[in-house]
Structure 1
Amino acid sequence: MHDAHAPEDRAGQLVAAAAQLFAAGVMSHSGHANLSARLDGERMLLTPGFVRGLRPGDLATVGFDGRVLAGALQSVSAEIIAMHSAVYRARPGVGAVIHTHSPAATAFAVAHRPLPCRTEPMLRFGQAEEVPVVPWGPRGSDVSVRGIAAVLEQRPTTAAVLLANHGLLVFGPDAAATAHLVVAVEESAEAEIAAAAIGGAVDFPPGAQEAVRAAIARSAS
């Protein structure tokens, strides 16, 4: 029987998610991002330091403790293993983590401003609350990792965080769902910034989350 959770399937899912982010136009000028997928035994597949033109064979297998078990990583990527591991350890249901420097979301991170949930795609793709800000710490440092873990504990239902003065960190059940949420967060950040010029964004009415869930349920039945 084929195992849908086999490493080769997870690798293909990460490659497809990276391509989806570029196609959606949510990447920074540099194209910087790192993506991972959970494997069994406290291991993950991790992008090697680049994601433009990513191929399954480019991915490395690493332990949550930072050891590279297969493949190779650039030193820059080795710094972010702890960031991804912190999410997997805090959220047993998370199957994929994506970090980008998506421009509009990063603007909120640089401003230390939580991103409100005021667009329907955020409701639909799993972020029915504001995206909180994690205090700044050098990437991969104990300060940064502890900050991520603390915010995830304080906000047990958030599926994304803004890393102060850095970028966006999003997580979900699989790579495709996580990439969809990256796009939704970036679009929402763009809309918030644009709305500020015409008087400011407005919150959803009470019950909006429940109404969207009901509409999704009806369309799926």
Structure 2
Amino acid sequence: MQILLAEDDTILADALKAQLNKLGYTVEHAPNGPVAQFLLQRQRFDLAILDLGLPMLDGLSVLRELRAADALMPVVVLTAQDGLDSRVAGLNAGADDYITKPFDFPELEARLRALLRRAKAATSSAELSCANLIFDARNRRAAVNGQPLELSPREFQLLELLLIQRDNVVTKEQITQAWANDGGGIGAGNAIEVYIHRLRRRLEGSGLDIRTVRGLGYLLEESGKAA
């Protein structure tokens, strides 16, 4: 799981990042509003933790811009501003939860898990359509031009990850983590390349390509988009 932590207190940010890393989350830290804005535009996150009092660009402005582009990403406001007006402003701007400092980490962890479960359930219930591909996560089905795709469980999981992150690079580490979370190892050292190769063949005629981004990972995009 990828988490954006936008927090200008470096001591608190380092402590939170260490705790979240122990729980298996990958954390990108933004010390101010413009960096948070840049990271949100550059890559996909599963959840964002935003301080309202960010320097250079406040957290509410970052949140409003995020909501204009992404209505679904869970966002937790983590702030010292505990007044009613601040809470209302944060929730109205699109926050899914509002936690005031000081706080207990176990409570923060529980709230993050709840939001991530809710977001995963919403994603899993949706049918995704991209080019000539229809992907039904809930019923574990996929089709190209109306013809069902025969996918192994691992191929299905890989396709789901690429679709959720489409037009963004999916790293080998993300793939490895997704497979590990599903209770299996990655197998041989070239297992990812083998499954990518198989999935490319399955997607022929779908109007989608899996592009290798050297040194980074893989990118699912519509055919001809790179040109």
| Same fold per superposition (TM over 0.5) | no
Higher strand share: 2
Which structure exhibits the higher relative contact order, with contacts defined as CA atoms closer than 8 Å and separated by 6 or more residues? Answer: 1
Specify the structure having the higher radius of gyration (Cα): 2
